[in-house]
Chain A
Amino acid sequence: MEQKTKVNAEDGKQEIVITREFDLPLELLFKAYEEPELFEQWMETKVLKMENKKHGSYAFETSRNGNVVFRANGTIHEFVPNQKITRTFEMENTPFPIQLEFLEFEKLTDKTSKLTMQIVFKSVAFRNQLLQMPFAQGINMAHNRLQEIISKLK
């Protein structure tokens, strides 16, 4: 079966392109990005700020078991409903430099749509490091488990 979400990271390029086709009308897809309450649900995060306009800013934080585990923010440079969002993305308290994101929303049919997300990184090395992060998260989980075991021994 063909994968719905595709990630293209060409060797030696400092960008990633993520594409996804949705069984949703374009307006609904865009709404999921535009409305904080909806964004919170699918990103499993808490929106602290979301100013959907040129030079507006946004911020969100993700908690697990009552602890903030991730915070991110950025500035919106272009916001054209049902067409595009251009923004920066900064992960707080990480060594990662700020990223530039180009999101393009397209209508395919009345009931389907497509999102193309181009993420530009400061360097090829930082891009490659970020690609490895979800795997690293698994490793952090293991660290937590280790801590749990050690605290039981005390």
Chain B
Amino acid sequence: MNLRRDVFQAIADPTRRTILLLVASQSMTAGAIAANFDTARPTVSKHLQILTKCELLKQEQNGREIYYHINAKKMKEVADFIEPFRKMWDDRFNKLEAIMKSKIHGQKNNG
């Protein structure tokens, strides 16, 4: 299993990035995290599962509740990643390519 790639995928999702921010400030239960989103609770649970699986979040039992807290060590690793930066340029260049391709077709239609 390629753990690094899993981490990339984990942070590529805006909801999961938001979860990381929420939990970064304080440990939270799944319910408290879900309350911040319009999406259905099972969807948030799925995101929590992914984040836990790739070790960005850790679970901690506190009485009857399970609290999620951030795994700072893993987060540091994520922060060093180039992938989000690469993705940003890749998106821009894909757009450039699509726009200019449409120009080629436009020219053909006009000519």
Residues of A within 8 A of B (CB): 3-7, 9, 16, 18, 20, 22-24, 28-29, 31-32, 38, 41-44, 115, 128, 130-135, 138-139, 141-143, 145-146, 149
The segment out of B40-48, B66-74, B99-107 that lies at the interface is B99-107
Chief secondary structure at chain A's binding surface: helix
Name the CB-closest residue of B to A7: B86
Query: Does B85 contact A28, Cβ atoms closer than 8 Å?
Result: no
Instruction: Choose among A16, A145, A149 the residue with the greatest number of B CB atoms under 10 Å from its CB.
Output: A145
User: Distance (Å) between the CB of B98 and the closest chain A CB?
Assistant: 8
- With contacts A5-B86, A132-B79, A138-B11 taken as known, whether A43 is within 8 angstroms of B101 at the C-beta atoms is no
A128 CA / B100 CA spacing, docked (Å) = 32
Residue pairs across A and B with Cβ atoms less than 8 A apart, 21 shown, are A5-B93, A7-B85, A7-B86, A22-B100, A24-B100, A28-B103, A31-B100, A31-B103, A32-B96, A32-B100, A42-B96, A43-B92, A44-B95, A131-B80, A134-B88, A135-B11, A135-B84, A138-B14, A138-B84, A141-B14, A142-B17
- B87 at interface, CB cutoff 8 A: yes
Which residues of chain A are near B65, meaning CB under 8 Å? none
Cross-chain contact B95 with A141 (CB below 8 angstroms): no
Q: State in angstroms the CA–CA spacing of A41 and B21 once bound together.
A: 31
Complexed CA–CA distance, A145 and B89 (Å): 25
